[in-house]
Each structure stands twice: as C-alpha cells, then as structure tokens.
Structure 1
Amino acid sequence: MHDPATLELLRAGKLEILGRIVEASNATLLCSVELDGVTGHCVYKPVQGERPLWDFPDGTLAGREVASYLVSAASGWGVVPPTVLRDGPFGSGMVQLWIDTPAASISDDEDSGAGSGSAAGSGSAAHREHVEQVSDLVELCPPGAVPQGWMPILRAQDYSGEMVVLAHADHPGLRRMAVLDVVLNNADRKGGHVLAGLDGGVYGVDHGICLHSEPKLRTVLWGWAGEPIGDEAVEMLSKLASLLEGELADQLDEHLTIAEVQALRTRVRRLLATRVMPEPSGMRPAIPWPAF
C-alpha cells in the first residue's frame, strides 16, 4: 500500500469520478484511477469544495491531509492511507487511496489492483476472522453492553433520549492512532474516521483540520488518557523528532506555515518528555460533534 508505485498511481493516474460521498461535510468524490494498466480507487477532495471554517485558513484543508500523511509515513506506522496533492477534474485537491472495509467495499467487477476489493479481500480463513474481529472499533453501546475489554469514554443520550455509552476497542492499531492524533493535533477524530481495512490494517482518514499551531485536539480515542505511551511510541517519536529537523520539515513547508511546523516539533518533544498520553484540558470540547 505504501510503496512508491501506489503514490505514483495517485499522483499521475487518470481520475474518473464514480460518485459523491454525500455524508461528508466537504466535497468528497469517489474515483477510479488508472496508470499504465494499473487501476485502483481513491477519494478526491477538491480545494474549491472545502467548506470555510472560522479557525482554519480557507483552502488549506487538502494540504493538511497531505501533511498528515507525510507525518504518518515518516512515523513508520502507516495510519494514514497514501495521500497526494494534485490536479483533478475540479482543480487542485487531495487524492487518497480508498480503503475497503467490511461496511464499504468496492466490488471486484468495478476494478482491480491497488485499493480494490479483489486485492484487499483475499486471504486465509484466519485473516478473514481477524478482519471480522476488528470491523467495529468505535461504537455507541447501551449501558451495561459495552464489549468486554473495550474502553468507555462517556455516557450520553442519543437522539431518542436513550442512554448510550461511547466506547472504543483496546486495540494496538487504535492506540497508535491515538498517539499520532496527539502529534497531529487532530481536531476531528470521529468514530467514522476510523477504518478497519479488509487487509487487516487500522486506518485513520479525514485529516483536513489537523496541524494547527494552537491546541485543538478533539477525539473519541481518550481510552488511554493519562497512561504511559509505551516504548514503541517513544521509539517512533524519537525518529520523528530527528526527521523534523531535516527532510520532513522541508516537505511539510509546502503545506503548512512556519509556526505550524514548529508547533508540530513542540508537540513531539513534549510527548517525548512526558511519555504520558494527555488528558482533556477542560478548556475546550474534548470530543468532536457529531462523534460519528
């Protein structure tokens, strides 16, 4: 998924719009992409389809999606699917590899290759069983019905007035995502932005409102708040801190301001120094709305 050929397919392949993802707040188009006989599927978000926000500069969301991918790729964790900035049918925009999930997959008949159902859906019975086990990673559960081993985040009322519990799985892929969200200063980690891929991976999407210079963290993944980040995260953050003094910073300069890159360095150093996952500050909303 993260090899240079996939990035080249996304950068240079011919895009054909298949439809619109209507639940998205910004223009989000499902496309096929083809290059030299290799085909796949991707999501295309044109800059001109971005909805203005009061706290993020207009026209910067696509670049923030790409910057988030660059940080994820540099971390070695592969949380964010391959993402590029390129021209498309409606002008410049973000193009990201489509992730097939149990809830949303593209049939083999439509295409084959990177990102397609035929490539992602194959595998052994043990692999398919693993996919089924991680198909739901964030859920609203009735009180008393939170799955064993899951981490409850809050109790609330749903639209009908019934009590529900927001909870997420205690899954290593989600834990990595939670650490990376602190680094990215993710202001919009909704449950629907967490994908359990048919390839067995756990992916995060929709990073348009990340990497602000001011604290903005809003997430449903608070289950590890106050806990040590662990040796794996320390190793990743140490590598990231080094890369942010060189080539990675140069790449991010194309999409972020100097202040935003410096704030990213500061968050990495702070997390390395404390080695503890942050807790909600109480000074701002801790969870995005809606939560899914």
Structure 2
Amino acid sequence: MSAPERLPASGVTAVTSTSIEELLAQGELTVRGRIREASNAVLLCTATLDGAAVECVYKPVKGERPLWDFPDGTLAQRERAAYLVSEATGWGLVPATVLRDGPYGEGMVQHWITSDEEEPEQSLLALVEGEDAGEGWRPVAFAEVGEGRTALLVHADDERLRRLAVLDAVINNGDRKGGHLLPAPGGRLYGIDHGVTFHAEDKLRTLLWGWAGEPLTDEAREVLGRLAGQLAEGGPLATRLAELITPAELDALRDRVAVLLRTGVHPQPSGQWPAIPWPPV
C-alpha cells in the first residue's frame, strides 16, 4: 500500500448529526493506505455511516510489535483508555478513539487530525544555541547536534502543552515525542500515540519537562480533583477503565492522581528511567 501524508478527500463528506465517536465505532472501514514509518501497523481509513464519513487511523492488535515491559496485544486498549481519561478532564487532548473489529481484526480506530499548516511543529519545539531558552520558551535538555556541538532543546510555554504534560503524568505516558503533538485548525492541540501508557511502574518519558517541579495551575488541581472522584471504586471512569487496563494499573493511576493533588507540583524525572524518549521527534 502507499503511504500518503493524508487521506484523499474523494468520497469523504462532512459529519452532520452522526457523532465522530459513533461513526468510528459503527461505520464501515475502508482502508486507503498505510503509514510505513510507524513501529506498529497503522492503516489510514475512511469510516462511513448513514451518508457521513470521517478520516481515521486503524491500528489492528495483530500488527502490534511485542514490548518487553507491556503485555502483548494491549496497546489498542491503552489508546482507548487514554482517550477516556482525556475526555474526563474536559480538555479534549486526544482525538476520538474507539475499540472495534476491522478488516484485520480487533483494533484501535482514531479520528484523523489534519494539522494546522499555519502552526507547524517548530512553533512548539525548537533547538536554540546557548543556555537561555528565551522568552516564551521552556528549557528541557541539551542535545548533541553534530560536530561536537550541543543545543538546548526547548518547548513553547504554552497552556495547551501544559495541560498535555499533566495528562501525560496522569496516564504515565512512556513516549511523548514531538511528532505526537498535532496543532489543529482553530487553535486546538492534540496528542496521539498512547499505546505505552498506564504501566504500574513509573515510565514517564516526555519532551514536556519545562514545568517540572513547578506548582500546578488552579485549573489542573480542579481537574485532578474531579478525576479522583471518577476514579474511585465504582466511579464511572474507573468502571470503564477496568475493562481496558489491569487492576494494578488502575490502582497506580489512582495513586498518580493522588500524588499530584498532594504535592501540587508537576512531576520531575525519577532518575530510574530515561526521561526523554528516543528518538525525540
């Protein structure tokens, strides 16, 4: 199959009364291409239902590569779980994501987000010379750029990224790379690729360390308080997540939220796990 940058518009009509999540879950999936750069099988599709259609990605469980530290065949469930937690925050940081059967068996199907051409990735991440991140930027770490030179990796001091940093801390995201940040038209920002999340052990690896050790915003504390209630035994979010992650992982999720509320600060690298994913983009 070919690997187009985005799906062709032919045959795709606007979603009207049909919600995107319903369309993804019940629509007929037509495979249009494959993203070959992905480490797991990722297929570009169109989901069609009742005359409405939406572009999406389909990651069949059969196409998941085994990982040494995650149970086999669980990445799709973790992607769905990350979406549910994102929705519970009210921030809407993860595109609509469902679990369903598809042309190659059960898998994750997620709404395809078209990036905003007026807000490229360089507006969120950059490499700068010297030790000063500059106004509007947050320092992350020094990186080798060749010929014995180093540059400072920085990310934007952006409210949307800060919310995503909180979400990543909650779901224990082990792979927040620059390429997983999708600015969308209208000022929205999405994060994608949440297969390595919700581990019971600390696995947080991210490029968004710019607020490490700093106080959480009032908004974040309020959101975490609501999450704690929904994650309580028998709570609505806990009930849905129990079908997707293990009891130990659900307990660890509750603990991470409790720690964030108790300390009131963004987490810092533990030193027991690489803090930044590789490759970082």
Find the aligned partners of 1:140 and 1:20 in 2 and give their Cα distance: 31
Q: Which runs of 5+ in 2 are unaligned?
A: 1-14
Sort the Cα spacing of 1:228 and 1:265 in 2 relative to 1 into closer, same or farther, 3 A: same
C-alpha displacement of 1:165? 2.2
Task: Confirm or deny that 1:61 pairs with 2:48.
Answer: no
Find the aligned partners of 1:266 and 1:147 in 2 and give their Cα distance: 35
**Deviation digits for residues 48-89 of structure 1 (CA, Å, limit 9, x no counterpart):** 100110000000000000001001101111111110000111
Aligned identity (percent) is 57
Which of 152, 169, 174 lines up with 1:187 in the alignment?
Answer: 174
Task: Confirm or deny that 1:148 pairs with 2:135.
Answer: yes
Find the aligned partners of 1:70 and 1:152 in 2 and give their Cα distance: 30
Task: Confirm or deny that 1:257 pairs with 2:246.
Answer: yes
Find the aligned partners of 2:45 and 2:252 in 1 and give their Cα distance: 34
- Could you tell me which amino acid in structure 2 is paired with residue 153 of structure 1? V
Give 1:102's aligned residue: 116
Task: Confirm or deny that 1:93 pairs with 2:107.
Answer: yes
Are the aligned partners of 1:168 and 1:223 in contact in 2 as well (CA < 8 Å)?
A: yes
Are the aligned partners of 1:29 and 1:43 in contact in 2 as well (CA < 8 Å)?
A: yes
Are the aligned partners of 1:102 and 1:135 in contact in 2 as well (CA < 8 Å)?
A: no
Sort the Cα spacing of 1:154 and 1:180 in 2 relative to 1 into closer, same or farther, 3 A: same
Task: Confirm or deny that 1:240 pairs with 2:227.
Answer: yes
Are the aligned partners of 2:125 and 2:155 in contact in 1 as well (CA < 8 Å)?
A: yes
Give 2:8's aligned residue: none
Give 1:31's aligned residue: 45
TM-score (norm 2): 0.89
TM-score (norm 1): 0.86
C-alpha displacement of 1:32? 1.1
Find the aligned partners of 1:160 and 1:42 in 2 and give their Cα distance: 41
Give 2:256's aligned residue: 267
Find the aligned partners of 2:186 and 2:134 in 1 and give their Cα distance: 23
Q: How does 1:65-76 map to 2 (within 5 A)?
A: 65-76=79-90
Are the aligned partners of 1:10 and 1:95 in contact in 2 as well (CA < 8 Å)?
A: yes
C-alpha displacement of 1:141? 3.7
Give 1:113's aligned residue: none
C-alpha displacement of 1:160? 5.8
Secondary structure of the structure 1 residue equivalent to 2:99: strand
Give 1:288's aligned residue: 277
Q: Which runs of 5+ in 1 are unaligned?
A: 104-130
